[in-house]
Amino acid sequence: QVQLVESGGDLVQAGGSLRLSCAASGSIFSISTMAWYRQAPGKQRELVAIITRGGSSTNYADTVKGRFTISEDNAKNTVYLQMNSLKAEDTAVYYCVAQSSQTHYWGQGTQVTVSS
């Protein structure tokens, strides 16, 4: 089992920045990739960014490319999502996800609200 705890969500003005954190604990040796998803009201959940453990590969949704950066600190078992130039359409609940060969683990989510 893997436990994930997100933090860092907040209310911010358009154009501002936030950094989300996701602290992992438990059987983290089984994790191959970490990702951030988001879900806005009335919309489907979407993949925002993904990183392989060790940071060798990252990928981003087109909607956030160039504005968001996913990174990891293995010493702290933490993954970050740096979000810059935030837009109103970035408003959503952001979820951290850990993927092993057998399953996905989800955090409880953190709310990001961008006011225009």
pLDDT tens digits, one per residue of 84-98: 999 999 999 999 999
pLDDT of residue 62: 98
pLDDT tens digits, one per residue of 45-60: 999 999 998 778 999 9
Query: 7 and 110 in contact (C-beta within 8 Å)?
Result: yes
- Please give the DSSP secondary-structure letter assigned to residue 75: G
- 28 pLDDT above the threshold of 80: yes
